[in-house]
Chains A and B, each alone.
Chain A
Amino acid sequence: MAEKILMKGNEALAEAAVAAGCRYFFGYPITPQNEVPEYMSKRLPELKGTFVQAESEVAAINMVYGAASAGVRCMTSSSSPGISLKQEGISYMVGSQLPCVVVNMMRGGPGLGTIQPSQGDYFQATKGGGHGDYKLLVLAPSSIQEMVNLTMEAFDLAEKYRNPVMILGDGMLGQMMEPVIIEPKEPALYDKSWATTGTEGKRKPNVVNSLFIQAEECEKHNINLQEKFLQMEQNEVRYETLYEDAEYFLVGYGTTARIMRTVVNMARAQGLSVGLIRPITLFPFPHVAFDRVASHAKGFLVVEMSAGQMVEDVRLAVNGRQPVAFHGRTGGMAPEPKHILAELIKLMGEVK
């Protein structure tokens, strides 16, 4: 069995990718995710893999496009401003049905913003940050061990659906250290007969492309893509609920959910009936978590390190059945447990 080691989130994510069989990494530095490329630059040459520090984020995502076309496990990583630059390439990869893993360790925005943690890229990640009708499968870990597990799974999911999968973390998850175990595993085997690996003169060349000259063909292609996104919604929803019988629920993902665990304990110590709903997949969004508590829940408080993004999906999921309040910090500031608790008590007062 592998030994437990103390790792920063970024390092653990990189080693998890290696353990899942990723041997190709293309990226460009940006704080607070620099340990990902730094780690890959040391690790991949040891395994005869390839690390390329590209000339830009745009170049890096297109290198991923190339590697993915050849059917290999590949990854790129960045933080908010760099992820914006990659959007064109991500849209092309969905259009070309290419598997890859894209990591976003979010920082304060908009623009260059700050280097501190944020969750301001939820819309970009879950609603299709580039052009066209598409979705990424978006995984949001809230501990380093979970980041390891989800990263390893992300490579399988990307190949299962032939679609990019995004790991959506934030600077805090990237920079903090926790003990982790990383167990290498054999990659799941998915059909890769579409990959451009050379015909050896025995078959017609495979073509990887997102261009459809005829509108009818492009619409058919879109219908197929939508079918895949529907399958993701049916098969891949993940979430965690603490105290499902509670009357009030805090809702958050990633680092914010870690902070809210503290608040749940503080609130329950005061005798308040409070639970936590933590989406792990942001797309597909776990509507079912809200349906399951609909008959007894009295209200929800969504907390994000943003001005209010996931709260819109929570309102769609709750569908007017209960009030949904919001508390957010922006620009790289993290919400504090005592402020969240105060907002929660305010919501409880308004409902009663």
Chain B
Amino acid sequence: MFDHRVTVFVGPYGSGKTELSLNVVQFLAPQYHQIAIVDLDIVKPYFRAREFRTKLIHRDIRVILPQGELQHADMPSVSAEVFTVFHNPDLKVIMDVGGDDAGAVALGQYKAQFEKIDHEVLFVINTRRPFSQTADHLIEMKERIEWRSRLPITALVANTNLGAETTKETILEGYAVAQEVSKRTGLPIAFVAIDRRLHQDVKHIIKEPLFLVDRQMLPPWERNIEE
């Protein structure tokens, strides 16, 4: 997992890209001298990676986000600093892209840069989301994202969950749909993302690598309890 210099998360709106980006970058941080997360989300106004900026900087993770006041706005702005990540061969990069083809459009301008570097584009699937429940829906969205981002998707991530109410059955049912998408598109499943608390329940059933997630995209009242 994550053996390319740049990992880009794309996928349908609300499929879990920001949650995964935050988890992956923190998981990888101890293994890399230089690591960065790029917040390319031009779609959603709340629950963006930039809200975790302070926590990430404390872990020596570089956070690339719209500068100044713009980071709090709902404008489709990306930082000029994004271009720098393509030119530093020692930098490990996680990119969190906005949902649907509307969010993927932010990637299009970097087409020439991506062609020169080692990267993977992961399509995140949560089949318990609206308009994402069938392989047909997902494959149509995959094609729309590739068209708007000007980047071929290289692998899938099975991330079916119901937040705090996820069960073993939820994961396995989404995994089956992801397998169907994999079969029909020829794309491998890079990994299956699961809530850490369900690890024991599914680890013997799923053949692909598992990535364990600790939920961080919580409403403010749940975040406060933890502090």
- Real binding pair: yes
Q: Interface of A with B (CB < 8 Å)? A: 3-8, 11, 15, 31-32, 34-35, 39, 42, 114-116, 171-172, 175-179, 258-259, 261-262, 334, 336-338
On whether the beta carbons of B44 and A15 are closer than 8 Å, the reply is: no
On whether the beta carbons of A179 and B225 are closer than 8 Å, the reply is: no
Find chain B residues with CB under 8 A from A114 CB: 72
Does chain A have a CB within 8 A of B52?
Answer: no
On whether the beta carbons of A115 and B74 are closer than 8 Å, the reply is: yes
**Chain A interface SS verdict (over half):** mixed
Does chain A have a CB within 8 A of B14?
Answer: yes
On whether the beta carbons of B45 and A262 are closer than 8 Å, the reply is: no
Having A7-B130, A179-B163, A262-B224, one finds 19 other A-B pairs with CB under 8 Å, namely A5-B133, A5-B162, A6-B128, A15-B130, A31-B74, A32-B46, A34-B45, A42-B131, A115-B73, A115-B74, A175-B45, A175-B46, A176-B219, A179-B164, A179-B165, A259-B224, A262-B225, A334-B220, A336-B220
On whether the beta carbons of A4 and B46 are closer than 8 Å, the reply is: no
Q: Which residue of B lies closest to A32 (CB)?
A: B45
**Chain B interface SS verdict (over half):** loop
Contact check: which of B46, B162, B164 meets A171 at CB < 8 Å? Answer: B46
On whether the beta carbons of A4 and B162 are closer than 8 Å, the reply is: yes
Contact check: which of A6, A172, A178 meets B220 at CB < 8 Å? Answer: A172
Q: Cα distance A115–B69 when bound, in Å? A: 12
Least Cβ–Cβ distance between A302 and chain B, in angstroms: 17
Q: Cα distance A182–B217 when bound, in Å? A: 23
Does chain A have a CB within 8 A of B161?
Answer: yes
On whether the beta carbons of A6 and B74 are closer than 8 Å, the reply is: no
Q: Cα distance A116–B47 when bound, in Å? A: 11
Known interface pairs A42-B131, A177-B163; A172-B224 also in contact (CB < 8 Å): no
Q: Which 4 A-B pairs have the closest CB atoms?
A: A175-B46, A31-B74, A179-B162, A259-B221
> Can you pick out 16 interface pairs between chain A and chain B where the beta carbons lie within 8 Å of each other?
A3-B128, A4-B165, A5-B128, A5-B129, A5-B130, A7-B129, A11-B130, A15-B130, A31-B45, A172-B219, A175-B47, A177-B14, A179-B164, A262-B225, A337-B225, A338-B224
Least Cβ–Cβ distance between B108 and chain A, in angstroms: 21
Q: Cα distance A302–B73 when bound, in Å? A: 30
On whether the beta carbons of B47 and A261 are closer than 8 Å, the reply is: no
Q: Cα distance A338–B227 when bound, in Å? A: 11
On whether the beta carbons of B220 and A259 are closer than 8 Å, the reply is: yes
Q: Cα distance A98–B14 when bound, in Å? A: 36
Least Cβ–Cβ distance between B22 and chain A, in angstroms: 15
Least Cβ–Cβ distance between A143 and chain B, in angstroms: 10
Q: Which residue of A lies closest to B220 (CB)?
A: A334
Least Cβ–Cβ distance between A334 and chain B, in angstroms: 5
Q: Cα distance A259–B164 when bound, in Å? A: 18
Find chain B residues with CB under 8 A from A178 CB: 163
Q: Which residue of B lies closest to A261 (CB)?
A: B221
Q: Cα distance A7–B45 when bound, in Å? A: 16
Find chain A residues with CB under 8 A from B14 CB: 6-8, 11, 177
Find chain B residues with CB under 8 A from A5 CB: 128-130, 133, 162
Find chain B residues with CB under 8 A from A3 CB: 128
Does chain A have a CB within 8 A of B7?
Answer: no
Does chain A have a CB within 8 A of B21?
Answer: no
Find chain B residues with CB under 8 A from A258 CB: 219, 221
**Chain B residues numbered 130-168 whose CB sits less than 8 Å from any CB in chain A:** 130-131, 133, 161-165
Q: Cα distance A3–B225 when bound, in Å? A: 30
Find chain A residues with CB under 8 A from B221 CB: 258-259, 261-262, 337
Q: Cα distance A172–B74 when bound, in Å? A: 15
Known interface pairs A6-B161, A262-B221, A262-B224; A172-B128 also in contact (CB < 8 Å): no
Find chain A residues with CB under 8 A from B219 CB: 172, 176, 258
Q: Cα distance A305–B177 when bound, in Å? A: 42
